[in-house]
Structure 1
Amino acid sequence: MGLSPSARLPIPAMPSWSSTIRHRCSASCSTSDMQEIPAKILLVDDDPGIRLLIQHGLTRAGYQVTEASNGLEALDGFETIKPDLMLIDVSMPQLDGFETVAAIRQRDGGEMIPLVMVTGSDDHESVTKAFHAGATDFITKPINLPILTQRVRYALASAEREQRLRRIHLEQQSACQLAKLGFWRLEIETEALQWSPEAATLLGRSAAMPGTLAALIEEAPAEQRQRLQRAFAQAMTGAAGLNLEMQLTRTGNACIITLQSSPQIEDGVIVGAFQDVTALRAFEDQTLYLVEHDELTNLPNHRLFSRLLADRLERDGDRDASATTRTAILVADINRLHRINDAFGPARGDEVIVAMANRLRQLLPPNSLLCRLESDSFGLAIPLESVDLDAFQARLQTQLELRLQLDGREIYSDCSLGLAIHPDDAQEAAGLIQAAQAAERETNRDQSRRCIRFSEIRAAREEGRVILETDLRRALEKREFFLVYQPQQRLENHRIEGVEALLRWNHAERGIVSPADFIPVLEETGLIHEAGDWILEEAIRQAAEWSRQGLELRMSVNLAAAQVENPHLITRLCGLVKDYQLPPAQLELEITESTAMRVPEQTLLNLRKFKQCGFQIAIDDFGTGYSSMSYLLQFPLDTLKIDRAFVKEITHGKRNRAIVTALSTLSFHLGLTTIAEGIELESQRDYLDALNIDMIQGFMIARPLVPEQLLAFMRAYDADTSASHPSAQASS
C-alpha cells in the first residue's frame, strides 16, 4: 500500500490566507522574500470514490492534498509529509479513525495539528468519542463540499492562532526566566501568599517561598519591616499599588527583589509580579565604586570627596549648633608634572603621583579626608579642633618635597598649596573646594609663595565679581551673548545626528570670556532665568532654520537647576516649538547630575512633563555628581552622557574602561543612548566604539562652531563621509 499523491494534479494559484500557509524567512529577510505555500492536507478514507470527491474539491480550493486508504498509511503519511491538517474517516480497516487520531496525538508534532473526523453517523456517542480521542472537529457524510471547505479553512485558521499564542507564551516564559521575573498572589483576608511555580528556582532558593505575608516580612531585615508593613497595608485597601524593593535574608538564600502590583483588587486578591534584582544592585554598587575612586591611587575622587565633605559639614552643624566646627580645605598641586611626563613619559609621571599620594597619607591627621581632585592635584579636609593649622601648613611645605629616582636620575618634585577655611570662606563643600583651588592658582602668579590662603585674595576676587556681575546684566541688552554648536557623531554609521548648543560671551572690552568664569555668576545672581530663556529660544530658532534648509539635527540645550525647577518652563518650551514649528523630539534637554539631585522630587515631576510633551532628556556630566545611581535612574531619560574625565585616560586606564563598559551595559539594558564627551584622539574613539558607546563629541570631530561654520562643516563632512563610507551614506 502506498500514498496516492494527488498533489500531482494542477493546483491553481490561490493567494488568499484561507488556503495557504505563510512561511517566513529569518529576521534579515525582507517582505518580498516571504513565500506562501499551499496548506498540505492528508485525506484518510478507505473509500476511493469519497477520496476522489474530497480531493477534487479541496484541490480546486487551493490546497495540496495527499491520500491514504487506512489508518496505518495515515501514520506513515503524518511522519513523511508533515501535513498541516488531516481529514480522517471513522470506519476503516486495520486501524479505525478513533485509534488513528489517538495515535497521532501521541507522536511528536501531533499535539497541535488539526484533525477533522469524517463520520457517517451524527449520533451523540460518536461525536463524544471523536473529541475524546483528540479530534479538532467532525463532519458527517454525505459530504457537502462547500461546508467541508469552510470547516477546513476554519480549522487551519484556528490552528495558526493557537500556534501563534503558543509561541508568544513560550517567548514570555523565556523572557521571564531571563529577567528573573515571576508572579505572586496575596489573599487579603487570610494573608496567604502564593508564588509562580518557578519562583524559588528563579531566586536560587533551596527553601520554599514564604507562604504568608507575615513570613515574607519576617525574612526582611529589621529596618525594612515597618516600611513593608505600611506598603502592604495600603495596597490591601486598594488605595495604591505596590512598587517596592526588599531583601530576603534567609541564610544561604539571600537576594534582593522588587515587588509590584496595580491598585486593582479582584475577589479579595492582589496579583503582582516580582523580579530578582540582586545582580543589578551588585552591578550598580561596583559601578558606583569605580565611578567614585581614582584608578591610579585608589583614593576617593572629586565626586566622592565632595559628598563626604558635605556630609561631614552637615554632621558637624547638627552636632553643635551653638559653636561652628572649623575645617580646613587644602588643595595640593604637583608642580611641573607635565614636564616630567614630557621628559620621561606618562608612566614615570604616574610614579610621582603615587609617591605624592603615599606621602600625603602619612602626613594626614586623624579624622581627615584625602582625595585626588584632578590629574595633578589632591584635596584634603582637616578638622581644626586638635590641629595647629600654621604648624601643619609648614610641615606640609617641607614634607611634600620629594626626591625620586627615575631612569637612574634623581628627580625633584614639590607641591603648591591653596587653603580655604569653613565657615569663613564658604559654607558648602563645593564652594570650599573652589576657594582652595582659586587660592592655589594664585601661587602661579606669585612664584615666591608656596601656600596662599583664600582670605588673602577674597577682596580682589569680590571686586572683580561685582564688575563681572554688572557687565553680565548689560550683556543681554548689548547682544554680547552668542551660541556655538558642537557636532555629535554616531559611531555605527559615522553620521552627525545632533549638536550641543553652548553659550559664549563676547565682552566688549575683554573679548571672549570663559563660560567657567561667568556661568556660575549667572546662576548665583538669578540672571540665568533671563539668559536661559534667550538660549532656549535661540537654539530652537536655529534648529528650525536648519530644518527648513534640509539639515535635520537634534538640538541639545543645557538647563540650569533654576530652570529645571521652574514650573512655567514647560509652557514656555511648548510655546517656542509651536511658534518655530520644531518637532519636540528634535529638542533634547540636558541636565547635570548635581542639578537632578538638588530637589529630586520636583525635578522628577518636571522631567516627566517634558517627556510627556515629546522632548528628549539627557543627563550630562554623568559620574561627577553626588547622587545615588538607583535613585538617579528613576528619571525618564533618553540619553546618558559620559563625562570627559572617564574618556581622557581610557586608552591606558583599566578602571576608566571598566567604568565606561559598566555604564554602556547599564544604558543598553535601560534603553538609553550613550554619548561620550571630550573625544580628542582616534584611539579614544576606537576604544569607545569597541565598548559599544553609541555617540561621541569632541575636538576630534569638531570644535564648537557658529551656525555659518557648522553649515560649511556639514557640507564638507557629508562629502567626505560619502567618499570614505559609501555604504553608510547609502543607508542614510
Structure 2
Amino acid sequence: MDTANTVDRQPLNNSVIMMLDDEPIIIDLIQIFLEDLGYTNFTGITDSVTAVDKIVECQPDLLFLDLVMPEVDGFEVLAKLRNNEATQHLPVIVLTSSSDAQSKLQALELGATDFLAKPVNESELALRLRNILTVKAYQNQLMYYDSLTGLPNRKLCQVRLGQSLAYAEKDQRALAVLNLNLYGLRTVQDSFGSSVCDKLLKQIAAELLECVRASDVVAFTGNDQIWRGMSRVGDDEFLIVLSGLRSASEATFVASRLLSILKIPMHLEQQDIQVNACVGISTYPEDGRDPQALMQSASQAASEARLGGPYQVQFFSSDENLRLRERMRLESDLRRALADESFYLAFQPQLDARTRKVVGAETLLRWTHPERGPVSPAVFIPVAESSGLMEELGHWVFKTACRQAAQWHHNGTDVSVSINVSSQQFNSGNFIASIRECLAETGVNPARVMVELTESIAVSNVDSNIRILHELKSLGLELSVDDFGTGYSSLRYIKDFPLDEIKIDKAFIDGLPAQKGDVAIVSAILMMARRLGMKVVAEGVENVDQYEYLVQQDCDEIQGYFFSRPLSAEDFEAFCNQCSSRAAPVF
C-alpha cells in the first residue's frame, strides 16, 4: 500500500478559491467563469472589514483581491494576510483596473503573487490560475508533507491543530492530541540497513492509517475523519489529533487500537520485525490552549509512558493518568481471568407467579479478583466492552450456562436458563455460528435456553436484527427483551420481533403498587404482551406488596430478592428442590 496516495490529495479544480471585491457583479462574473472551468469551490466576499478573519478561517488555496475598496483597501488586507502565519504564503492575484506603476510596486512589496487587469481576460485568468495552483501544490508537497510516508509533517500538523483548536473553542468541545512514539528503529537500521528501515516506516504509517479508518474506531469515536489529523512529526513520532472529543475513553480507545497494530510484527524482506511503541495523550483545554503546548504535553506524556515499558498509554494529566492506569490494569487482569477461566456464573431464580415453582434462572456473570475480591459487573463490563473482550467473554458465558442447564436436566431439574447477550456479541459476524457451536458442544435442549437482548440492541438496525432473531428461533431457542420499558422506541417494532418473553425493568416495579405512573406502565406492558402472545417476567421484586399486585395482574413469572438472591449452581439446584417439595412455599 502506498501511504502517500492515502493522504488527502485534491485535484486542482477542487481547490478552494476566494475573491474579495466590493462589487458583487464582478464576483458573480468570476464565479460563473470559474465554474465553467470546473472550479466549484468558490467563495466571494464583499465586506473588506471582516474579510481577513473569513480568509484565515477558510484557508483557501488562492485569493483574488481587489485593491480599491471602501473602509479597508486591498493593500491593508494584503498586509494583514502576510503578517498572519496561517496566510503568509497564500497565493494572492491582485485584480486592478489601474495601470499605476506605484500601486503595483506597493502590492508586490506587500507580497502579491500576480496581477490581472480589469476587465479580466478569461484565457489569461485560466492560465494564471492553473499555473499558480500547480506551483502551490508542488510547494505544499515539499513544505507540508513528509517525503517518506506522504503524511502531513510537523508544520502542517501545527496549522491543522490550530484550526481544530479554534473550532473546539468555538463549540466548547474537548480535543486530544496523541503522540505515538516508536523505539527500536536504530536497532532495525543497524541490523537490516536504512532501506529496510524506511520501508518499515512506510508500512507502519500505512497500517496506522488503516487502523484509524477502521469501522470500530469510526463507530466508537463517531468521527470518520480522524485520519486527516494524522501526521509524522519526527523520525520516530506520529501524531493524531482527535477533534470533537466526547470523553477521555475515546482517546484511550484510539491509542489502544494503534498500539494493537504495532504489537503484531511487520513482515519485511522475509523477516518479522518488531518495533515497540507507546502513546502519550494531552487534552484541550486542560493541558494546553495552543498547538505547541499540546504537542509538547503529548510528547512528555509519551516519554513517561515509555518508562513503563512497551505499549503503554499515558495521559499528561496526572489525575486522568491515574484513572487510565487503573483501567489498563483492570483490562490486563480481565484478560488473565478469561485465560484462566477465573469467572463464574450465578443464577437468580425465576418463579411461576401463581405456583411459586422455579421455572428458570437468569444467568449472571461474576468475578472475584485475587487481590480486590468481588468486582461489580458495573465496573468490569464497561472495561471489557471498550477493550474488545465482550465477544469472547460472552461466548464463555453462553457455553457455560448451556452446559449447566444440560447438567441440571440430567440431574432431574428441568428449568430454563436466560442468558444476556451484549451488543458486541450480537453484532459480530460470528454470532450465529458461535451459538450453534455452544448448542452442539453442550448438548443442551435449545427450548430450555432463553436469549436475552436489551431493548437498545433490539431496536438498532431493525431489519438486520429481525433476520438474526429468526435464525435464532430456527435453532429452537427462546427469545426475550430485557429491561423492557426503558426505551419506548421499540414499541413500533415489537410486533415484528419473534419474541417469546418480555422482562419489565426493575425501575417500574419499584413503585408498585403505590405509584400511579408505574402502575400504568406495568399494566400497559402486561396487556400488550397478552395480546401479542408473549410471556412477561417482572424483575427486581423485593416485597410482598409488589408480588401480590403482579399476581393480581396475571404476570407470568417473578424474579427478585423477595424470593432469592443470585445463587451458585449447587445452591440453585437445592433451592429448586426445596420449592418443589412444597405446594406453595412461603418466603
Coarse TM-score class (shorter-chain normalised): 0.3 to 0.5
With the length of structure 1 as denominator, give the TM-score of the two structures. Answer: 0.37
Q: Which has more helix, going by share of residues?
A: 2
If you compute each CA radius of gyration, which structure gives the higher value, 1 or 2? Answer: 1
Bigger RCO of structures 1 and 2 (CA < 8 A, at least 6 apart): 2
